[in-house]
Amino acid sequence: MDLFANLALGFSVIFSPTTLLFCLVGVVLGTAIGVLPGLGPVATMALLLPVTYYLPPEGALIMLAGIYYGAQYGGSTTAILVNLPGESSSVITCLDGHAMAKNGRAGAALAIAALGSFFAGCVATVAIVLFAPPLSAMAQQFGPADYFSLMLLGLITAVVLARGSLLKALAMIVLGLLLGIVGTDVNTGTARYTFGIGMLFDGIGFVPLAMGLFGVAEIIHNLANPERRDLVTAKVKGLWPTREDFRAAWPAVLRGTGLGTLLGCLPGGGATLSAFSSYTLEKKVSRYPEKFGTGVIEGVAAPESANNAASQTSFIPMLTLGIPSNSVMAMMIGGMMIHGIVPGPLVMTERPELFWGMIVSMWVGNLMLLVFNLPMIGMWVRMLLLPYRLLALAILFFCCIGVYSLNNSATEVLFIAFFGVVGYLFIRLECEPAPLLLGFILGPLMEANLRRALLLSRGDPMVFIERPISLGLLIASAVLLLFVILPVVGKMRETAFQE
Amino acid sequence: MQVGSGQAGGRSRLLSQDFLAGLFFCTVALVGLWVARDYPVGTAMRIDTGVFPRLLCWTLLLLGIGILVNGLRGSTGPVGRLALRPFFFVLLAVIFFGLFIEKLGMVITVAGLMVIASLGSPERHWRVLAVFVALVVTAAVVIFAWGLGLPIPVWPV
């Protein structure tokens, strides 16, 4: 069977000492930034992109991936012990997790979160192994018109599932697309929107843009709004959950994993949405919904499994179609492009060692997280004593030196200042920067496919409707947009996020 | 979050998040269209440089107007006061780094970056700050200058 040969290839990649080391560095770093509030996986990956330039591509991508799912483990630790979401995806874990900690059951909550996450990680890895190859084979049939429509659908789904104002998210996508085409037009050689600045002829750099929007802007915002840390200092003891805990938790873990695996594949889905939805689901199916929020173990088990499953299945559209479903996947694509790898269906056939190595690394990484995480909780808690105002200085330093080292260009450092200003204004105007990043990645690709499609059809725009795949994707986009514009769905969306 | 003056007065609507966001998107779209006025359009079969930017700018303009109207209807909260202190000092720190890294070298620039940025936080603990800065500067020199061998001078040149 082909599958086993592929998995064997993956294992041979991951079980080289250096790759294992990169995987370990990724998951430990991921846990660390997951524990620290105010520093998320997107900002961390942006900080590390310049460093990955010096690594082999497999090691770089395996490390970056490890940061993302590692952060899901770490986020729950802070949520449970400090009542602060270390990550946005563990906001919901605060409710019951911290309540459990206050009842003196922090150990059980931490253990269930880790075990649930590990189970979810295994299931999600299997899902990727099963669904990625057929999807990527299908994607190879796609023509330029189909790709254009697929990207449109991807962007629209990302908006529909995102939080906040729909119009603003759409505007942020369009702004991202516009920023993406700044620079020399590859087809004609004309410079667009460069305003005579030499640096801009090569386009706006992905790293300064991401660091400004996600790094510097967040620092300004967080320094202005100091947080209170409500650390449960009581010793974490009695780590192992009771028999009743297990009995209550395992169906919740199953449901959370299922929901997370599904929602993760959708553009715009990802970890946060899955955690919220699975908590709502648990409350609905529970026999004692009124007890949620007072330290119910299902309220920890379900969202923690869901966010880990989703963080992994969100790799499926990125690996097979080359389309980022959230800003973390946009970062992964940025990492691939640094190494000259074009993301898309061809990665699987042309770089099988990279593709399968990454998939197998996720399972290995989850195992490492399970083994290392619980014994290291004491260390993570001590790390929380580092005040944010000092951490912010270190982050700022990493941003500057990272961007500078990419091209040894001081001008690019000034770019992060500029995008930091823009990003801070976005925060104050409640414009989510994530859709902008998706647009930025897809801008040049969409234009190229639009051009190619029209060239092949000899200028006939009907090509987008005549090809069945493209037509189907366009109809899906239109239906989705219609659905959101209808007020009923809008309200449902609001209540779902308010939970 | 600070609440601006008045509950739903005309001035607070003009300072609402949506109104200002709409204004921002419209401005970007109009500037985009103006800059793109000379970009060639080409033919339907070979669309040229100008088509995609114009398409995007018009879409952005429509969306911007929609957001602006939303803001006038008064559905969102006010922007509130900008956090000028961290805003100013964090940016100053980054600009300082960009302007002086090549001339003053890593030690002075990194320390300067961190001291300037620390002024953005209302808390002041000089001794802790000094220790932390010394740690990061040492790590920076060891990792980036000696370890990775980045061509950045350690001391002023």
User: Can you tell me the ipTM of this complex?
Assistant: 0.86
CA of B121: which chain A residue's CA is closest? A223
Spatial separation of the C-alpha atoms in residues A41 and A49, rounded to whole Å: 12
Beta-carbon pairs below 8 A across chains A and B: 184
A399 and B94: CB-CB below 8 Å? yes
Determine the Cα–Cα distance for residues B24 and A472; give it in Å rounded to an integer: 35
Residue A498 predicted with pLDDT over 60:
no
Residues 6+ apart with CB under 8 A from A18: A56, A59
Smallest Cβ–Cβ distance between B79 and the set A389, A405, A428 belongs to A428
Rounded to whole angstroms, the Cα distance separating A315 from A303 reads 19
- Least CB–CB distance from B45: residue in A220, A392, A455: A455
pLDDT classification of B2: cutoffs 50, 70, 90: very low
* CA dist B118 → A2, A24, A71, A178, A223 (Å): 57, 32, 27, 35, 10
Mean pLDDT of A96-125: 88
Q: How far is A98 from chain B (nearest CA, A)?
A: 25
Residues in A closer than 8 angstroms to B150, CB to CB, are 401, 405, 408
pLDDT at B6: 39
Asked if pLDDT for residue A234 goes beyond 60, the answer is: no
The structure tokens 């033919």 sit at B43
**Where is average pLDDT lowest: A35-39, A97-101, A171-175, A399-403?**
A35-39
- Among candidates A187, A190, A410 on the partner chain, residue whose Cβ is nearest the Cβ of B98: A410
Q: What is the pLDDT of residue B22?
A: 92
pLDDT at A488 over 60: no
pTM: 0.81
pLDDT for position A281 = 87
- Residue A372's pLDDT is 80
Domain count, chain A: 1
User: Nearest-CA residue of chain B relative to A164?
Assistant: B76
Q: What band does B4 get if pLDDT is binned at 50, 70 and 90? A: very low
Closest CB to A454 among B18, B47, B56: B47
Set of chain A residues whose Cβ sits within 8 Å of the Cβ of B24: 425, 429
pLDDT score of B148: 72
- CA neighbor of A180 nearest in space, from A415, A432, A434, A446: A446
Q: What local confidence, expressed as pLDDT, does residue A225 receive?
A: 77
Contact B80 A428 (CB under 8 A): yes
Q: Has residue A408 got a pLDDT over 70?
A: yes
Q: CB distance A389–B46 less than 8 Å?
A: no
Report chain A residues whose CB lies below 8 A from the CB of B70: 165, 167
Q: Give yes or no for a contact between A314 and A324, defined as CB atoms under 8 angstroms apart.
A: no
Best of B31, B37, B63 to substitute, by most chain A Cβ atoms within 10 angstroms, is B63
Task: Give residues with Cβ within 8 angstroms of B150, minimum separation 6.
Answer: A401, A405, A408, B144
CB-closest option in A192, A219, A425 to B90: A219
Is residue A156's pLDDT more than 80? yes
Nearest to B83 among A181, A188, A220 (CB): A220
Say yes or no to pLDDT of A387 above 60. yes
Search chain A and give the residue with CA nearest B120. Answer: A223
Residue from A220, A385, A458 to probe the interface with B (highest B Cβ count within 10 Å): A220
A271-280, A431-440, B27-36, B41-50 — which is least confidently predicted?
A: B41-50
**The residue type at A254:** L
CB contact under 8 A, B25 and A175: yes
Output the CA torsion sign for A77, A79, A84, A88: positive
Distance CA(A38)–CA(A378), nearest Å, equals 20
pLDDT at A396 over 80: yes
CB-hemisphere CA count at 13 Å for A202? 6
> How confident is residue B3, by pLDDT bands cut at 50, 70 and 90?
very low
Q: Distance from first CA to last CA of chain B, Å, rounded?
A: 46
Query: Domain map of chain B by residue range?
Result: 10-72, 84-147
For the beta carbon of residue A389, count every other beta carbon within 10 angstroms: 23
E strand segments, A222-367: none
Domain interval for residue A400: 2-498
Residues in A touching B110 (Cβ below 8 Å): 397, 401
Given an 8 Å threshold on Cβ–Cβ distance, is B44 in contact with A454? Answer: yes
Cross-chain Cβ contact B117/A401 below 8 Å? no
Residues in B touching A399 (Cβ below 8 Å): 94
Better pLDDT: A54 or A120 = A120
Q: Is the pLDDT of residue A233 over 70?
A: no
Q: Which of A420, A430, A459 faces B94 most closely, judged by CB atoms?
A: A420
Q: How far away is chain A from the Cα of B149, in angstroms, using its nearest Cα?
A: 10
Beta carbons within 10 angstroms of residue A499's beta carbon: 10
> Is B16 strand, coil or helix?
strand
Mutation target among A175, A422, A464 for the B interface, most CBs of B within 10 A: A175
Residues of A in contact with B95 (CB under 8 A): 414, 417
**pLDDT band (50, 70, 90) for residue A119:** very high
- DSSP one-letter string for A396-442: HHHHHHHHHHHHT-HHHHHHHHHHHHHHHHHHHTT--SHHHHHHHHH
Contacts of B76 in chain A (CB under 8 A): 165, 430
Q: What is the percent of chain A where pLDDT is above 70?
A: 93
A159, pLDDT greater than 90? no
Alpha-carbon Rg for chain A, nearest whole angstrom, is: 22
A359: helix, coil or strand?
helix
For residue B13, pLDDT over 70 is answered with no
CA distance A459 to chain B (A): 3
Instruction: Report d(CA A214, CA A210) in Å as an integer.
Output: 6
Integer Cα distance of A298 and A84 in angstroms: 19
The mean predicted confidence, pLDDT, of chain A is: 84
Rounded to an integer, the average pLDDT of B32-49 is 83
**Mutation choice for A interface testing from B37, B39, B55, B94 by most A CBs within 10 A:** B94
Sorting pLDDT into bands at 50, 70 and 90, what band is A26? very high
* Facing residue for B59 by CB, picked from A174, A390, A451: A174
pLDDT at A491: 56
Mean pLDDT of A101-120: 87
Are residues B95 and A404, on separate chains, in Cβ contact within 8 Å? no
Task: Select from B20, B90, B123 the Cβ nearest to the Cβ of A429.
Answer: B20
Compute the distance between CA of residue A37 and CA of residue A391 in angstroms, rounded to an integer.
10
Q: How many residues does chain A have?
A: 499
Lowest-confidence region among A165-169, A238-242, A350-354: A238-242
* The pLDDT value given to residue A419: 93
Q: Specify the pLDDT at position B10.
A: 56
Q: Do A414 and B64 touch (CB under 8 A)?
A: no
